[in-house]
Chains A and B, each alone.
Chain A
Amino acid sequence: MSPDELAIPFRERAGRAMKDAFLQEALTIATTKFIGLRREAFEVFPDGEALRDRARQIKEATLQRLDQHVERLVARVEARGGHVHYATTAEEARRIILDIARRTGARMAVKSKSMATEEIHLNEALEAAGVTPVETDLGEYIIQLAHERPSHIIAPAIHKTKGQVADLFSRELGRRVAADPEELTRIARAELREKFLQADLGITGANFAVADTGTVVLVTNEGNGRMVTSLPRVHVAVMGVEKVVPSLTDLMVFLAILAKSATGQKLSVYTTLVQGPRRAGELEGPDEFHLVLLDNGRIGQLAGPLREALACLRCGACLNVCPVYRQIGGHAYGHTYPGPIGILLTAMLHGPESVKDLAHASSLCGACADACPVRIDIPGMLIALRREVAERKIAPWAERVAFGALGRLLLRPALYRAAARLARLAQRPFARDGAIRSLPLGPGAWTGARDLPAVAARTFQERWDALDREGRA
């Protein structure tokens, strides 16, 4: 999202999304479908729950020895003739990749879907350096033609209608094409096939990297991951450093739950294990293989409040079940990673002040933690983030004053009772059917996105006292 759009308050972005009738329908259809597929996949998989626990254990064990696993990964990749680079920031990651592009004289880069390269805003940097980036995942290709950002981690273009896609393709090709998904897919295949064969540079993310063998693992359904790692003469993989797993045995545990959580498939169509550049005796494959290990806020969280979020597999399951995501979609979050986990990842990348509004874009219902294949306690971390936002005084002052007053009130029962009686009188002009839907002036900002339950005609305490008296009588 551009800085201009980020200047728009979150509330306004969310409000706009909620007025977009197509987006609302698309979100409902997509997330409902993903929820059903995921549920069915785990229903017929008796080992699922145990494997989720094991996967989480493996993640935790890996983070506890992350230095050793990274060292081993690096040694194995280099033993296979690959190069490893270390990026502390997004800026450094971009510079590393641009250097590779420049040195190898690359003019065109084909990319398979990668949130890590979204995170470092690589495409803009490539374009500025005269290298044409081509997104090859169909959803990402559509998004790139529209000059937008993905709205879902695994279904980047769910907010687009087939008519809009047809318009984009028509403009790109200079001829009118039909709004038929089959036909549009056929056109994308033909267009992108040429790019795969011409490109000098293949850029991917990585779902995992196996330390024991120096293997980078890519999971795709379309086959573009295989194209990008096989056809261009240079392959660059960009990976958050936390994605390393110790062994191939561990990898299989993650593969067994990843696709089931994401799309309800037992496995995605293609799982591609890449060990360095083309080997002697091989006809195809890149001359050079580069792995860019990305910190960008991750390493500090090994000892930070967001440590658990380092276990995330980027499956998107928490987005689909989130009542807030289902209402506002991915763009309203305003950053690379949407949804409940996205709030935590945004805080990881940009600090807690970047989520002072987003930290509240959750009902804390816990559906995300239930859906998470590695059982990340997302609501717990959101609460901690809210506390941090409040304590560091980056929350709006009115909110801090109001909640401070409420806190003091709750500690003094007599005062609380008096305040309830007062509120019952004061709410009369605003309460309808047991709820306050809008308030004037300052508090209006708060009720703009929420309903406040009205103070009951008789409070619980008053009824309790009455019952107590009756009981004794």
Chain B
Amino acid sequence: MTTRAEFLDRIRGAMRRAPGLVPAAAAATPARPRAEVDAIRRELAERWPGALEGFRREFEGVGGVFHRVAALADVPQVVAGLARERGVRRLVAWHPGALGGDLAAALTARGLDVVAMPPGALDDPAARQRLRAQIADAELGLTGVDLAIAETGTLVLRSGGGRPRSTSLLPPYHVAVFDRSVLVESLRQAGVVLESWHDGGEPDDRGAVTSFITGPSRTADIELTLTRGVHGPREVHAIFVDKEIRG
């Protein structure tokens, strides 16, 4: 088996033999990502309505459905309406701590079966298996959002405690709730935010996966016919909440 040392030696040997190379530099990474994120946020304190409009346009352009409500307490009504129209009732939701509020009671009162995710891991494999089956069986997944990118209409979700990966993946309908605190204008700004997430110590409840979601799951693999929901959700809804969720 090739060892790391052999592999790296071979790379170094080839690099030494490489003929006259032109000078080239990778992109400059932000020196203090957190400070730069703060600066972006300050700029967006004025500009965010434009960014939100851009997000809506792009998100709809990729087949997403955009909603806007005044406060988090208005979300259950929208979700219940969506569920009713689609004839679904089994719902899985991020843990209230991850979502920014406890919506389970209000959703249950509107006739939905709600399974809220536990705040952390489950040690018992049987319990874990049961929960996985529940997520796989659910018809609608309700999640928060860690970053919304206007340039591309993208929702970025980080996995972690109370926010399992498959809640935005296995159910055929995905509803994500966000506010202006997670909104950025461009992929470039999103890059700064990503860098800031790796800047120094990370909160312990963050998982191993960051998912960029740009519209519903799609394929065009059979005669280039666009089809939605091949593996992931066939519909993605983004509910913008005017009053900051954690305000």
Residues in A lying within 8 Å of B, measured CB to CB: 26, 29-30, 33, 54, 57-58, 60-62, 64, 66-67, 70-71, 74, 80, 84-88, 92, 95-96, 136-139, 142, 155-158, 160-162, 165, 181-182, 184-185, 188-189, 192-193, 196-197, 212-213, 221-224, 226-227, 229-231, 241, 245-253, 255-256, 263, 265-285, 289, 293, 295, 299-304, 307
Residues in B lying within 8 Å of A, measured CB to CB: 1-4, 6-8, 10-12, 14-19, 21-22, 24-30, 58, 62, 117-118, 120-122, 128, 131-132, 136, 151-154, 159-161, 164-166, 169, 187-188, 190-192, 194-195, 198, 204-225, 227, 229-233
- Contacting pair B29 A282 (CB below 8 A): no
State whether A86 and B21 are in contact (beta carbons under 8 Å apart), knowing that A226-B232, A269-B215 are contacts in the complex.
no
Contacts of B207 in A (CB 8 A): 278-279, 281-282, 285
State whether A57 and B25 are in contact (beta carbons under 8 Å apart), knowing that A269-B217, A278-B208, A307-B18 are contacts in the complex.
yes
- Contacting pair B164 A64 (CB below 8 A): no
- Contacting pair B10 A299 (CB below 8 A): yes
Which of A92, A184, A256 sits near B222, CB closer than 8 Å? A184
10 tightest A-B CB contacts, nearest first: A223-B232, A303-B17, A139-B221, A252-B191, A271-B212, A60-B24, A302-B14, A181-B225, A281-B161, A86-B7
Chain A residue with the shortest CB-CB distance to B151: A266
Contacts of B222 in A (CB 8 A): 138, 142, 157, 160, 162, 165, 181, 184-185
- Contacting pair A71 B8 (CB below 8 A): yes
Which of A84, A136, A248, A284 sits near B166, CB closer than 8 Å? A284
State whether A142 and B221 are in contact (beta carbons under 8 Å apart), knowing that A270-B213, A285-B159, A285-B165 are contacts in the complex.
yes
Among B24, B27, B30, B153, the most chain A Cβ lie within 10 Å of the Cβ of: B27
Contacts of A300 in B (CB 8 A): 14
Chain B residue with the shortest CB-CB distance to A196: B231
- Contacting pair B166 A272 (CB below 8 A): no
State A472–B30 Cα separation when bound (angstroms). Answer: 71
Contacts of A284 in B (CB 8 A): 132, 159, 164-166
- Contacting pair A269 B161 (CB below 8 A): no
Additional pairs, 7, CB under 8 Å, beyond known A60-B22, A279-B206:
A229-B209, A230-B166, A241-B11, A266-B153, A270-B217, A283-B117, A285-B209
State A299–B233 Cα separation when bound (angstroms). Answer: 40
Contacts of B224 in A (CB 8 A): 29-30, 33, 155, 158
- Contacting pair A248 B232 (CB below 8 A): no
- Contacting pair A138 B221 (CB below 8 A): yes
Contacts of B211 in A (CB 8 A): 226, 270-273
- Contacting pair B122 A295 (CB below 8 A): no
- Smallest Cβ distance from A272 to chain B, in angstroms? 6
State A277–B209 Cα separation when bound (angstroms). Answer: 9
State A193–B133 Cα separation when bound (angstroms). Answer: 12
Chain A residue with the shortest CB-CB distance to B127: A283
Which of B7, B154, B220 sits near A267, CB closer than 8 Å? B154
State A80–B206 Cα separation when bound (angstroms). Answer: 12
Chain A residue with the shortest CB-CB distance to B215: A269
- Contacting pair A224 B6 (CB below 8 A): no
Which of A96, A247, A285 sits near B26, CB closer than 8 Å? A247
Contacts of B14 in A (CB 8 A): 299-304
- Contacting pair B225 A266 (CB below 8 A): no
Chain B residue with the shortest CB-CB distance to A71: B8
State whether A295 and B223 are in contact (beta carbons under 8 Å apart), knowing that A266-B214, A281-B205, A283-B131 are contacts in the complex.
no
- Contacting pair A213 B165 (CB below 8 A): no
State A271–B212 Cα separation when bound (angstroms). Answer: 5
Contacts of B212 in A (CB 8 A): 267, 270-273
State whether A66 and B218 are in contact (beta carbons under 8 Å apart), knowing that A181-B227, A269-B213 are contacts in the complex.
no
State whether A223 and B214 are in contact (beta carbons under 8 Å apart), knowing that A138-B222, A249-B195, A285-B207 are contacts in the complex.
no
19 A/B residue pairs, CB under 8 Å, sorted by A: A61-B24, A70-B7, A84-B4, A136-B231, A138-B230, A182-B225, A184-B222, A223-B233, A224-B231, A226-B232, A241-B11, A245-B26, A251-B191, A269-B217, A279-B206, A279-B208, A282-B164, A283-B121, A302-B15
- Smallest Cβ distance from B92 to chain A, in angstroms? 11
- Contacting pair B27 A58 (CB below 8 A): yes
Chain B residue with the shortest CB-CB distance to A278: B208
State A155–B27 Cα separation when bound (angstroms). Answer: 31
- Smallest Cβ distance from B36 to chain A, in angstroms? 11
State A250–B232 Cα separation when bound (angstroms). Answer: 28
Which of A74, A158, A162, A282 sits near B4, CB closer than 8 Å? A74
State A212–B218 Cα separation when bound (angstroms). Answer: 31
- Contacting pair A281 B204 (CB below 8 A): yes
Which of A74, A155, A160, A277 sits near B220, CB closer than 8 Å? A155
Chain A residue with the shortest CB-CB distance to B226: A181
- Contacting pair B219 A87 (CB below 8 A): no
Which of A95, A256, A268, A299 sits near B214, CB closer than 8 Å? A268
State whether A247 and B27 are in contact (beta carbons under 8 Å apart), knowing that A70-B8, A155-B221, A189-B230 are contacts in the complex.
yes
Chain B residue with the shortest CB-CB distance to A113: B221
Contacts of B217 in A (CB 8 A): 221-223, 269-270
- Contacting pair B218 A156 (CB below 8 A): no
Contacts of A282 in B (CB 8 A): 121, 159-161, 164, 207-208
Contacts of B195 in A (CB 8 A): 247-249
State A237–B207 Cα separation when bound (angstroms). Answer: 18
State whether A67 and B15 are in contact (beta carbons under 8 Å apart), knowing that A275-B209, A282-B164 are contacts in the complex.
yes
Among A249, A251, A268, the most chain B Cβ lie within 10 Å of the Cβ of: A249
- Contacting pair B26 A222 (CB below 8 A): no
Chain B residue with the shortest CB-CB distance to A33: B224
- Smallest Cβ distance from A38 to chain B, in angstroms? 14
State whether A277 and B26 are in contact (beta carbons under 8 Å apart), knowing that A136-B231, A221-B218, A252-B191 are contacts in the complex.
no
Contacts of A161 in B (CB 8 A): 223
- Smallest Cβ distance from A326 to chain B, in angstroms? 15
Which of B3, B120, B218 sits near A269, CB closer than 8 Å? B218
State A57–B215 Cα separation when bound (angstroms). Answer: 31
- Contacting pair A255 B187 (CB below 8 A): yes
State A85–B4 Cα separation when bound (angstroms). Answer: 8
Chain B residue with the shortest CB-CB distance to A64: B21
State whether A281 and B191 are in contact (beta carbons under 8 Å apart), knowing that A70-B11, A74-B4 are contacts in the complex.
no
Chain B residue with the shortest CB-CB distance to A87: B2
State whether A281 and B21 are in contact (beta carbons under 8 Å apart), knowing that A62-B26, A64-B15 are contacts in the complex.
no
Contacts of A245 in B (CB 8 A): 26
